[in-house]
Amino acid sequence: MKTKVKVFSLVFLGIILVSCPLLQRDYSTEDPGDDVEIPDDGLGVLEIDFTSGFEGIRDLFPPVLMEIDHYTVAGRHSDGVHEFDADVYTGDSLTQYGLLAGFWTITVNAINPDGVLIGDGSVTAEITAGLTTSVHVTVAPLSGNGTLEVTVQWSKQVFKKGERVDATLSPPVPDGTLIISDPGTQGEYRYCSISSASIQAGYYLMTLQLFVDDVLENTMVVAVRILTGQISSGIITFPL
């Protein structure tokens, strides 16, 4: 039985888990070759391919590199006894033998060059003795919530009082999610903070509006990326 894993760049990873019997050789550690017939003796073949949902991702605010260095692949049989684990680096391939027929749960984690888990995916596959089973699993950024901490500033030489900043996110978030502080002064700037302790992971467009004495003076739209368990932070300056 073997598991064959292939990674194509950062956006495609194909896994082939191939089952074959133990004849005169130990197929748990080596490839039997194309000329070896696979008899039906309770072992089967599993083929898995999975693609990454990281296409087009840019690092906006979170200090986390959204680049896949390698994948960890874990297979668990429904009997709770049989299992396998493997690391797959981009461009490499892996062969695993000896998978028992039955239902297997395959979990794939995406790891960045810093060793940080940045995505995952899973699929359940049924191995049939003597046959090849093909399944597909997408590895996508982790689901969950992250934190937003943004400072918005403008020159105090232009406006010194009566300012107010409004902020909205698209897609919208529940009322009260964003907390906007009253304006203050620091150095040459007036500023306010915009924060949220919990926002669902994903991409957002944040619209910022600066009012002075209730008159709209400037509007900015900023792309924000929220990552699970990470803080998206930055300083945004109104060009007045």
DSSP per-residue string spanning 44-106: EEEEEEEEES-TT---SSSS------EEEEEEEETTSS-EEEEEEETT-EE----PBSEEEEE
Nearest to 72 by CA among 84, 86, 58: 86
The confidence score (pLDDT) of residue 37 equals 58
Domains contained in the chain, CATH given:
2-141 (2.60.40.10), 145-237 (2.60.40)
Q: Which residue has the tokens 């073949």?
A: 45
Direct distance between the N- and C-terminal alpha carbons of the chain, in angstroms, rounded to an integer: 66
Burial class (CB in 10 A: 0-12, 13-18, 19+), 147: middle
Contacts of 157 (CB under 8 A, 6+ apart): 188
Are 106 and 142 spatial neighbours (Cβ–Cβ below 8 Å)? no
Which two tokens mark 194? Answer: 């915009």
Residue 178 has what DSSP assignment?
S
The confidence score (pLDDT) of residue 24 equals 33
Contacts of 81 (CB under 8 A, 6+ apart): none
Report the C-alpha gap between 210 and 223 in whole angstroms: 17
pLDDT 10s digits, 29-82? 445 555 555 556 677 777 777 666 555 443 356 778 888 898 898 999 999 999
Are 17 and 1 spatial neighbours (Cβ–Cβ below 8 Å)? yes
pLDDT 10s digits, 165-174? 999 999 999 9
| Percentages of the chain per state (helix, strand, coil), in multiples of 5 | 0, 60, 40
Say whether pLDDT at 118 is over 60. Answer: yes
Residue 213 has what DSSP assignment?
T
- Give the residue, 158 or 214, on which the prediction is more confident: 214
Nearest to 201 by CA among 126, 151, 131, 141: 141
Nearest to 44 by CA among 13, 5, 77: 77
Q: How far is CA 83 from the centre of its chain?
A: 24
Mean pLDDT of 132-155: 86
Mean pLDDT of 76-100: 81
Which phi-psi region, left, alpha or beta, contains residue 144 (left: φ > 0; alpha: ψ -120 to 50)?
A: left
Say whether pLDDT at 13 is over 50. Answer: no
Length of the chain: 240
Q: Which of 90-104, 148-162, 213-227 has the lowest mean pLDDT?
A: 90-104
The confidence score (pLDDT) of residue 93 equals 58
- Give the residue, 201 or 90, on which the prediction is more confident: 201
- Give the residue, 49 or 87, on which the prediction is more confident: 87
For the ranges 5-9, 10-14, 106-110, the maximum mean pLDDT occurs at 106-110
